[in-house]
Chains A and B, each alone.
Chain A
Amino acid sequence: MIGKLLSTDLLKMRRTGIWWIVFIGPVGLAAMQALNFGLRYDYLVRDHYASDPWSGLIEETSMFVPIAVYLAMTLLTAMIANVENRQNSWKQTLALPVRRSQVFASKFLACLIQLLAACALLAVSMLTVGLLLKFSGPIPYLDLLKLGVYPMLAALPMLGFMLWMTLTLRNQAIPISLGIAASLSSVFGGAMPDVFPLAWPAVVLGNGEEALRYAGFGITLFAVLYLLGSIHFSRKDVA
């Protein structure tokens, strides 16, 4: 049933422009770095990061990844929910013979697929930038993938929260404002204490050894939020 629901959710997203977000985010980040490294080629590639330009590229990008991930989560969940909220289609969707928990799961999976696609696209476009700029040294495929995926996992609690907010609240202004505020403050994640979930993507990027641990924290906290959201969504009255 989840598969069927997921396929309908992907169908409902046709022509909503949702895939543009998936596309523009990573490609935009890569384009920014292409400019950065292209314009300051002599300084960055030949001097500052001369020993390992690939990790230089990853390092320069990494400070923008948390905000990009949080923004993507905000926009994607809001757009996914908007498909149902706009014409109040919930009453049609939930009057079908489906479990509400499965509807909730399907929306989550749709969002997760898009986030993973964005991560993959980020890796590919960063690779392209590096190759175009003729970086020397071995290509760090794994690090390029981790660049998007680890912060995304560490940021998952945000997805759990946004999923619940956007799918249960009629007024989307509230979750979107909160989401954008969180995204903006995540820029200062490095300066926050590590217990603060908003800081986790930055911690993951700044500290290689702790990466897996904080990704794990992210998944755990997400699981709790997801469960609470799903239970509430399953029980609430549909207006």
Chain B
Amino acid sequence: MTELMIETRNLTKKYKGARAVDALNLAIPQGEIYGFLGPNGAGKTTTIRMLLGLIRPSSGVVQIFGQDLKRDRIKILRRVGSLVEYPSYYGHLNAVENLETIRRVLDVPKARIDEVLHTVGLTKDAKRHVKGYSLGMKQRLGIAAALLGSPELLILDEPTNGLDPSGILEIRELIKKMPKEQGITVLVSSHLLSEVEQMASSVGIVNQGKMIFQDTISNLQRKAGSEIHIALSDAEAAMIIVREQGCFARLEEGKLIFKGIDNGQIARLVAALVDARHSIYRVEERRKSLEDLFLNMTASASGASMGGISQITGGHSGAPRGAGLPKEVAQ
């Protein structure tokens, strides 16, 4: 069992009665890149601010490195690097001076400034005033600041927000290197699943302050499931043959759609269909995109989580198999 870097229990934040974060249970193992997903306003930033001690939870417990945040805030924060939302910087100072303001507090050697600037590729612009930086450069400076104290845990809130594609790629590569090269655990929040999918090893999905899914990314992909689509000349007539083969299909736009059938079954089906003089145009596997899955999960959020689960499986027809219960249903 790997050690948990971050663990929250029933973490709740109320604003004037409304629950921005509602009984959230985060569990982030060591060495992972944890993608913290949710639509805008789901409570991601609020959660992250609570993890950093910037705002006080209404109730619940935050444990980082196995220590209670309330009691050992300073000890914990010494080992955490963070970038919350859009970058914080002092525009009238240059990159080195910006980092120096943090270095003096963290009390790390001056050489670290050059190291982190090199890591994020800002060495060339180190002496320029930060207000002249592009958003991407400011964001990289923010990451440099987060890395300055050689943290064991990196908390990045929407680090690629507002960046152009090449900037996003750069930041993503940077984040992916962290666990491998320096053994850093990373919590990265985003509202884009496609993005988290490309770097995270595990994910937590929140909506309206509640955790609706928390598992590894591969389990999430498995839940998405796949379908076999067969496009052919006379789909309705073909349904009879399908039934004779002992398979169940649903008809959609002149295509037969199968769920959860194996290679042997597909081969037999196709052979039987060809024997029956059907022209087969296309046999394709369609993975349900994670984006759909994500949307389904989040759209069905308010209250009835059971309703959401049937939607995840497709919701149209057929047995709900292949897409089980989300492991972590918010209580």
Contact = CB atoms under 8 A, between A and B. Distances in A.
B286 interface: no
Interface residues of B, number: 33
A16 interface: yes
A11 B97 contact: yes
Given A98-B74, A98-B105, A11 B100 contact: yes
Nearest to A235: B56
A89 B89 contact: yes
Contacts of B92: 14-16
B167 interface: no
A7 B102 contact: no
Interface stretch (B46-54, B169-177, B198-206, B223-231): B46-54
A96 B106 contact: yes
Contact of A92 (B53, B74, B91, B145): B145
A8 interface: yes
B55 A99 contact: no
B101 interface: yes
Given A92-B88, A237-B55, A15 B105 contact: no
Interface residues of A, number: 28
B25 interface: no
A99 B56 contact: no
Interface stretch (B76-84, B184-192, B308-316, B321-329): B76-84
A97 B52 CA distance: 10
B89 A87 contact: yes
B56 A7 contact: no
A238 B50 CA distance: 10
A83 interface: yes
A134 interface: no
B102 A238 contact: no
A40 interface: no
A170 interface: no
Contacts of B52: 91, 95
A14 B97 CA distance: 10
A148 to B, nearest CB: 29
A46 interface: no
A98 B52 CA distance: 12
B77 A95 contact: yes
SS class, residues of chain A in contact with chain B: loop
A95 B106 contact: no
B93 interface: yes
Contacts of A95: 52-54, 77, 80, 82, 84
B78 A97 contact: yes
A110 interface: no
Contact of B90 (A12, A96, A97): A12
B181 interface: no
Contacts of A86: 91
A89 B106 contact: no
Nearest to A93: B88
Given A11-B101, A96-B106, A89 B90 contact: yes
A94 interface: yes
Interface string A121-142: 0000000000000000000000
Contacts of A5: 104-105
A88 interface: yes
B143 to A, nearest CB: 12
B71 interface: no
B189 to A, nearest CB: 14
B107 interface: yes
Interface string A226-239: 00000000010110
Contacts of B78: 97
B105 A8 contact: yes
Contacts of B54: 91, 94-95, 237-238
Interface in A99-127: 99
A11 B73 CA distance: 26
Most buried by A among B52, B54, B85, B106: B54
B277 interface: no
Contacts of A87: 87-91
Contact of A11 (B77, B104, B142): B104
B16 interface: no
Contact of B93 (A12, A90, A96): A12
B124 interface: no
Interface string B48-70: 01001111100000000000000
10 nearest CB pairs, A to B: A92-B88, A237-B55, A89-B88, A97-B77, A97-B78, A238-B54, A8-B101, A95-B52, A97-B74, A15-B92
Interface of A: 1, 4-5, 7-8, 11-12, 14-16, 83, 86-99, 235, 237-238
22 contacts: A11-B101, A11-B104, A12-B90, A14-B92, A14-B97, A87-B91, A88-B88, A92-B142, A94-B54, A95-B54, A96-B105, A96-B106, A97-B74, A97-B76, A97-B77, A97-B78, A97-B106, A98-B74, A235-B56, A237-B56, A238-B54, A238-B55
Interface of B: 49, 52-56, 73-78, 80, 82, 84-85, 87-93, 97, 100-102, 104-107, 142, 145
